[in-house]
Structures are given as structure tokens and as C-alpha cells.
Structure 1
Amino acid sequence: MSTQTTIRDEASRPVHLTEGAGLERRTLTVPSLVFLIIAASAPLTVLAGGVPSTFAVTGLLGVPLGFLVLGAILALFAVGYGAMSARITNAGAFYAYVADGLGARQGIGASWLALVSYNAMQIGLYGIFGFVLSSFLEARLGLSVPWWAAALAGLVLVGLLGVSRVDLSAKVIAVLVSLEFLVVVVVDVVSLAVAPEGVSAQPLMPSEFFTYGIGAVLSFGIAAFMGFESAAIYSEETRDPARAVPRATFTAVAIISVFYAVSAWALAVGVGPGRVVAASRERGPDLVFVFLGEHGGVLLADMAQVLFITSLLAALIAFHNAVARYFFSLGRESVLPRWLGVVGARNHAPVAGSLTQSALAVLVVAVFAVAGQGSELGPLFPVLTLFTWLVNAGAFGLVFLLAVTSLAVIGHFRRDSGGHSAWVRWIAPALSAVGLGTVLVLVLANFDVLIGAEGPGLLALGLPALVLGVGAAGLVWGGVLRRRRPEVFAAAGSGRAAADPR
């Protein structure tokens, strides 16, 4: 039997909640899932921020090949992941898969690691969102708005969508991502049309990639893919999840890897292979917008900057939805407090999880807002700290989870082959585990570079340790549940509520 209660959302409106009910069923289609996945990777943000940063830091032209190599590794991951998603439907994707393949205690540890990683990715984005929106309002409208106020404005909008029907978020994201793609395509076309040194294949040459610095290229590039695995998080809300989730995952990996590779190559050609590294070091994230202003006009550059802001907003919505569903899944099974499993009585949105994520974001943004007062970093404080630290820490945690989930796939199909070939059951998952493990080591080795630290100091070592420490705490909590609440432990990862001992 379900029970009902009432709380208030960010706009102080009453939201009727139901405990014991599930998420909205059969709402999302394959295209909706693809848009939600791609929104998390933020195409325009990657082109404007990630690509120039990678050129600048590594000094290598082979950035486009990095996206293709990472896409191949993640495609291997998607083979077993997609097959497993056809058999397990749970909003806590990593949690459920690891619990099934490696054991309940490991699954609970994975769930805590997923929560801290997704929260870090989502909340970290508020740092750059607030900075970019604040800078744009001052430059174009003469309005002086603190970065944290701009971030909180976005947070309210994201929170309102989080307590609404998931298809509303999907529709908003579909529009924003479509506009992002349009802008990136325009940048690509203009780049190839300008081509001051000719349309050169040099950035696509293996010799420009397989050299010293390849680890940094892969370390920077993997963050651009984070969120590709999120189709399984929406499996309970998807029409025909057994087919939709694998299709959406493969489609998203293919689109992201090829699109980013082509766009990185086009930008290098547009600026000039001989100048792109120096220009990236000089301009940074402004390179794309300066390039558009010079060759497409101020209006086009301004439109691109507006869509850069909406690109970040779409990513915030996508990661917020992922966190809310993890909270819901863990609350439903009483691994975390049961009230986190409460959903809206009318729209079946994971309202308690959504509001919890929003509250965490408000708290972290407030801490960084206070810490940034009078900082010597000036206006760039939220970008160089909140954004850089948290997003890279979150990406590290998610890569670790991907590697562990590859092993969980092998464990799952060892018990029941499900009629799948050896390629699906263990060869592709084993190759993906090796590939992702290699990327994980590279990320850790280059973490000081990723966060802009000078050498492997306390911060460069502490952030990954903190993320893994939360996962370790989840393992300990799993052991506590096994001893003290065996009925909860037995239901971990099952997608159903544990027997209530009261």
C-alpha cells in the first residue's frame, strides 16, 4: 500500500508525493534517450572548452583520434552493458548491475560511488554555468550579477524540471541539444571553408596521436563521454527497455565519438594545424567564439555564446535526473532512507531525490561562493575550482565504475549465458575492462594537469581518494546492512522494496 504526503518544491508550490509507487512507465523513446545521453556530454561545451584545452595542455594535434579511440573502448563496454540492460531494469543502473554480477555489498559500494560521482559532475557544472552566464549578462546587457546568483537561477530551473514529468525534461533537452548540434555544424562548415593552411589530414595522422602526451589526451577526452551510460538509468521509464536502452547507448557512443572527432579536426583545420595549439593556449575557451566572430560575424558569435549557456543547462538537467533516480532507487530498497524513494503522485517523478540533489547543489555552491570572496583567482574562481575540481573528480569516479561494471557483466553471464555468444558474455567486457582500466590509470597519472595543479600535491591526490573513499564507505555500509538488516541486503539491486520489518 502506498502512502501520500506533501512537501514543497523550489517555487514553494505543494507537491503531492507517494511512497511505494514507481517511476512513470513507458514514457521515453529511443530518440528521447539519445538526447538525454548526448545532453550530459554537452557537445558545444566540449568543442568550446574541452577541445581547445586539450590542444593547449598536450600540445598534440592528434586530439580527434583520441575521441575515436575512446569511442572504440566505450563501444566494447556497451556490448555487454547493453545485453545486461535487456535483462535488468533498474533506475540505479551501475548499482543493480554490480550487485547482480559481483554481489550485493559491492553493488552498494558502487551505488555510493555513483552518487558522489554524478553529484560531483552535476554540481561542478554550476561553476562554469554561473561564470559564463554572469559574464554574458555583463558584456551584453550591462548587468552585474555574481556568478553564484547566476548559478542559483539555473539551479531553480533545473530543480523545477526535476520534479516534473521526465518527458518534459526530455523535450526541453531535445530542443537545446538540437540547437547545439546546429551551432557545432556551423563551426565545422566555417572552419573547412576558411582553412588557412588548406584542408589538411594532419590532425588525423596516427603519428600526431601515438606519442608522448597521449595519456593527457585520453584523460581530457574521457570526460566528454561521461553520461553515455545513462540510458539504463531511465530503463524503468522507457518503452521496451530491452531494445531501447542498448540501441540508445550504441547510437550515443557512435554519434559522440564521430561528431567530436570531426569537430576537433575541423577546428584544427579552421585555425590552421600549425597555429591551433598556440591559439588554444592564447584564447582558451574563447577560441571558438573569437573564430566565429572573425569569420561569421558578431551576431553568430553571440548566438553561439547563448547556446553555450544552454548547452551547460542541458547537461545540468541530464545529470540532475541521473542523480535523482539513483536516490530513488536506493531509497526504494531502503539502502538509504526510505523517504528518498518517494515519487510525485501525479507525475511519478523522483521528487524526493530531485529535491535532495538540489539541496546538495545549493549547499556546495554557497560554500564556494563564500570561499571565493576576495580570491586572487578573481572572476575565474568558480571555473578553476568548483568546475575543474568536481567535474574531473566525478569523471574519475565514473571511469572506475565503468571498469567495475565490465567485470560485473562477466559475472552476470557466467551464471546464465542467456544464449549470448562468448563475444558478448566475456570477450568484449574483458577488453573494455582492460581499456577502461588503462584510461583510469592515465587519468590518475595526469590528474594534477586536469585540475591545473602544480605537480601531484594534496589536492591532486585527495580528490580521487575522496571519491574512492565514498565508494569504500558504501562497501562498509553494505556489510552493516548484511548483519543488521538482512532483508534490505537481500533485496539490494533487485528494483523492489525490501520487506518492512516494522
Structure 2
Amino acid sequence: MSTPVPLSHKENRRPLGVADLVFFVVAASAPLTVAAGGVPQVYAATGVLGLPVLYLVLAAVLAVFSAGYAAMSRHIVDAGAFSAYVTEGFGERAGTAAATVALIAYNSMQVSLYGLFGVAASGLLSTSSGWSVPWWVCALGAMALVAVLGYLRVDLNARVLAALLLVETVAVIVFDVAELGGGEPAAQVWSPASVATGAAGAALCFMMGSFVGFESAAIYGEECRDPRRTVARATYVSVGFIGIGYAATAWAFAAGAGVDGVLGASAEHGPELFFVLAERGVGGWFVDLTRVFYVTSLFAALLSFHNVVARYFLALGRKGTLPRALGRTHPEHGSPHVGSLTQSGLALVVVGGFALTGMDPVSTLFTWLTNVGSLGVILLLTVTSLAITVFFAGRPRERWWSQRVAPVLGTLLLAAILVLSISQFDVLLGL
């Protein structure tokens, strides 16, 4: 396999460290977006009370996967991550197929967020200033800003994401502390029986969307200070942060709304349940602030997914699978600027189409494309884990756990989640 030209080894570029990668990864998971929109929706759609348990289970599965994934990153450094690993395991055609699925999945996740962002930003402008702005106008404004930041240096993006991530993480922690401290104990949500109260398979698939982006640390390997250590550490930190954090938030919802009432309240209020509980537990001032942070949280996720998609375009352009112009990097900024502009153009076409047809930005644009993206990522994780197993077979390069056990166990666990997700996909669509 040929060694790609590094993205940004220029004197004016600051190499990325563990903290930078964690910012990119966790920002993609959008803590406040998951807390305000994701957790209540999973409760309502699946009827599973044991979401805290499932968050930890899913984090454990992804940690097992990450052992082999991180080990692979020490041998293969490529902006295509998934496609590069699958290529090493199964050949060029399989790698190209994986890259295509990844491109579709991440594009779907990124573009879907414009629907949610547009509605959230439009609502914020309406409540704060009385302005009535269509959702698509807000979405186009965010799209323009993402395009500019994606074109510029990646370390600038890291600073922007760091600031946005900090404020929304603090907001979620304040909410969790207030509800867990002032609500009922809600210890029942930690019992094994609570997992069997609804469609656990659908819940796992739904919740996988909360973790999407954890694997993207390897995509920035070429831009890291020390990819052999940085990628592995950032991946483990991100999985632990996301799993433990969202388990605590799901517990906080059950404590605030009550174990007997959290499912009904989630179905009644949807994303507004976060703000209903926050106003009672913290105060109106906190609700006003978190509505702003909710919008910035969505923007951070848009920017992070945009960066991932641009780098998949870069990888496919380098290989000649897509036009080779996509494999170019900016001579000054070192960014994959052609891929970045291409992603922005695709988003403009899709969002514009939904706006012109008058389709609902949340129930269609956001819901449809998010489900497609989540299922695609689960498939990619499963195939990549199998490819890592094949790659390390007969190659005593790593410790027995990361080379022998973790890839096989990760493949089996992820395949089970994939089968469960497909079998209960009707629950995710509300059918």
C-alpha cells in the first residue's frame, strides 16, 4: 500500500494532540443535543427504562472494538481509516466499498443535522427577539460558516470546537447534578430487568448515534503529533467520556421525571422535557442559556462531521476512486479544501431540496438521514473489526488482547447489535 502524502507537515501548522482529537470526537456526539433530544426520544420510542445500563454496555462493546482499532492505527495511518483498514484485511475492492458506505453514512449524519439546527435556531430567534425566520434560512447560514471553517486550518477548528464543547458539557453536568440531587433515587433503572421493558435492540441502534464519531480519531492520524499513541488514547478517552456521561444523563431524566413517569413524559414533551425539568430543577435563567447552547451544540456537531466527510473525499480522491482533484490539500492551510467544498455543495443540494418541497425538517430530513447514517456506521464497525482480525492473523505485532481476542470479540458483539438493529428498525421509524 502506498504511503499517502501527509496532510499538513508545514511549519505553520500545529500538530494535533490527544485533547484536540477528543474535542473533535466528543463534539461530533454533541452532548447537549443528545441530552435534550436524544435521551428523551430513546425513552419514548423504545420504552426501555434501563438506558443507563445500555449506555455502559454499548461503551464496553466499543471499548473492545477500540483495542483492535487503536492497534491497527499504529500500523496504518490514513485519512480513510475504515476504508484503509478494510483494504488491508480484504483487498482494494472491499476497501472502496467500505469508503463508499462511510461517505454515505457520514454525509447522511452531517446533512441531517441541518434540519434540527434550522428548527432550533429558528425557535431561539423567535423566543428571544420575536423574529420569524424560516428554518432553512438558519440552516443555510450555518452551512456557510461551516464551509469557511472547513476550508481553513484544522487547528482553528479545534479551538472553535473546544469552546463550544466546554459550555455545552457544563450545561449537561449542571442538569445532571440538579436532577440527581433533587429528584427520586431512580435506582430501578440500573437493574437488569429494566433493560427488558421495551425494544432493547432498537435502543442500542438509536444510542449508537450518540457515539458516532468516536472512531474518527484515526482519520486525523496524519495530522497528529504522535499517531501511534495519540489516536489510541483519544479513542479510549472519548468512549469512556461519552458512555459514562450519557448514562448519567439518562439516569438524571429518570430521577427528575420519576421512574414511573419518564416514559410518558418523554413521549409527551420530547426534546422539551430537558428544558421542562431544567426550569424546575435549576431555574428559568438556565433554560434561556441552554437553549443557546443547544444551538451551538448542533453547530459543533455539524462542523465535526463536515471535517470527517472532507477527509473521506480526500482518501477516495487519492486512490482515484473519485476524481483526483478531491485528493488535493490546500497549499497554505493544509486542509482537504476540495473535499470540504464538495461536502458543502452536497449539503446545499439536499437541504435545498427539502426546503423547496416543504417537507418537515425534523421528521423527514433529520430522522430519515440520521437512521441511515447510524445503521451504516454499525455495519462499517462490524466489517472493520473483522478486517482487523484478518490483518493481525499470523502477524505477532501486538499484545494478545488487542491482536487476538478484542477484534474477534468485537466483531461478534457488533454483529449482534447490527442484527438487533435491523430486526427492530421499524421501532426507530415509529411504524
> Under TM normalisation by the shorter chain, which class is it?
over 0.9
1:128-162 Cα shifts (integer Å, max 9, x gaps): 01111111111221111111111010001111110
Contact 1:126/1:365 (8 A) holds in 2: yes
Equivalence for 2:411? 433
CA distances 1:318-339 after superposition (whole Å, capped 9, x unpaired): 1000000111111122221110
Q: Render the CA deviation track for 1:79-124: whole Å, top value 9, x for unaligned.
A: 1000000111100100110001111110011011110011000001
Is 2:219 aligned against 1:233? Answer: yes
Distance 2:420 2:25 in 1: 24
Give 2:333's aligned residue: 347
**Alignment-derived partner of residue 42 in structure 2:** 54
Map of 1:402 onto structure 2 = 381
Please say if 1:169 is aligned against 2:147: no
Query: Which residue number corresponds to residue 100 of structure 2?
Result: 112
- Code of the aligned partner of 2:349: L
For 1:309, the equivalent position in structure 2 comes to 295
* Contact 2:313–2:327 (8 Å) recurs in 1: yes
Q: Displacement, 1:448? A: 2.3
Task: Report the CA distance between 1:206 and its aligned residue.
Answer: 1.2
What is the letter of the counterpart of residue 59 of structure 1?
G
Q: SS where residue 105 of structure 1 aligns?
A: helix
Further displaced range: 207-216 or 354-363: 207-216
- Provide the C-alpha distance between the structure 2 equivalents of 1:338 and 1:200, rounded to a whole number of angstroms: 56
Q: Is the 8 A contact 2:77 2:222 kept in 1?
A: yes
Superposed structure 1 runs of 4+ greater than 6 Å apart: none
AA partner of residue 23 (structure 1): L
Q: 1:423 aligns with which of 383, 387, 401?
A: 401
Alignment of 1:253-272 (within 5 A): 253-272=239-258
Q: 1:359 aligns with which of 345, 353, 357?
A: 345
> Of 33, 44, 48, which aligns to 2:32?
44
**Aligned twin of 1:446:** 424
Q: Partner amino acid for 1:366?
A: G
The answer as to whether partners of 2:81 and 2:218 remain within 8 angstroms in 1 is yes
| Distance (Å, rounded) in 1 between the aligned partners of 2:326 and 2:54 | 39
- Kept in 2: contact 1:193–1:270 (CA 8 A): no
Shift of 1:415: 4.5
Deviation at 1:295, TM superposition (A): 2.8
- 8 Å CA contact 2:205, 2:375 repeated in 1: no
Number of equivalenced pairs: 424
Cα deviation, residue 440, structure 1: 1.1
- Tell me what 2:137 maps to: 149
Between the aligned partners of 1:390 and 1:58, the Cα distance in structure 2 is 19
User: Where do residues 234-253 of structure 1 align in structure 2 (5 Å cutoff)?
Assistant: 234-253=220-239
Measured in 1, the distance between the counterparts of 2:84 and 2:407 equals: 17
Secondary structure of the equivalent of 1:343? coil
Report sequence identity in percent: 49
Change (3 A) 1:81 1:218: same
From 101, 105, 109, the equivalent of 1:121 is 109
Give me the whole-angstrom Cα distance separating, in 2, the residues matched to 1:213 and 1:362. 36
Q: Give the Cα–Cα distance (whole angstroms) in 1 for the partners of residues 132 and 198 of structure 2.
A: 44
Write out per-residue CA displacement over residues 366-412 of structure 1, whole angstroms, 9 at most, x where no aligned residue.
1100121xx5xxxxx10000000001101100110000000111111
TM superposition shift of 1:302:
1.1
Aligned residue in 2 for 1:378: none
- 2:209 and 2:348 map into 1 onto residues whose CA distance is 24
Give how far 1:294 is off. 2.4
Q: Which residue of 88, 92, 95 corresponds with 2:80?
A: 92
Retained in 2: the 8 A contact 1:22–1:348? no
Q: TM-score, normalised by structure 2?
A: 0.96
SS in 2 for 1:28: coil
In structure 2, distance between residues paired with 1:438 and 1:44: 29
* Corresponding residue of 1:291: 277
Quick one: distance in 2 between partners of 1:428 and 1:168? 35
**Unaligned stretches of 5+ in structure 1?**
1-19, 376-380, 455-502
CA distance in 1: counterparts of 2:80 and 2:46, whole angstroms: 36
- What is residue 23 of structure 1 aligned with on the other side? 7
Could you list the per-position Cα deviations for residues 161-197 of structure 1 after superposition, in whole angstroms to 9, with x for gaps in the alignment?
10010011111101111111100001011102321xx
| 2:270 counterpart SS class | helix
Residue in structure 2 matched with residue 3 of structure 1 by the alignment: none
Residue of 186, 192, 195 corresponding to 1:200: 186
Which consecutive unaligned segments of at least 5 residues does structure 2 have?
A: none
Question: Could you tell me how far apart the structure 2 residues matched to 1:212 and 1:285 are?
Answer: 20
Larger Rg: 1
RMSD: 1.3
Superposition TM-score, scaled by structure 1 size: 0.83
Post-superposition Cα deviations, 1:204-238, rounded to whole Å, max 9, x if no partner, equal: 11110145421122121111111100000000001
Question: What is the CA distance between 1:21 and its match in structure 2?
Answer: 6.0
1:390 to 369, 375, 378: 369
- In 2, the alpha carbon distance for the partners of 1:72 and 1:223 equals 16
Q: Which amino acid aligns with 1:243?
A: R
Structure 1 residue 417: deviation in Å?
2.2
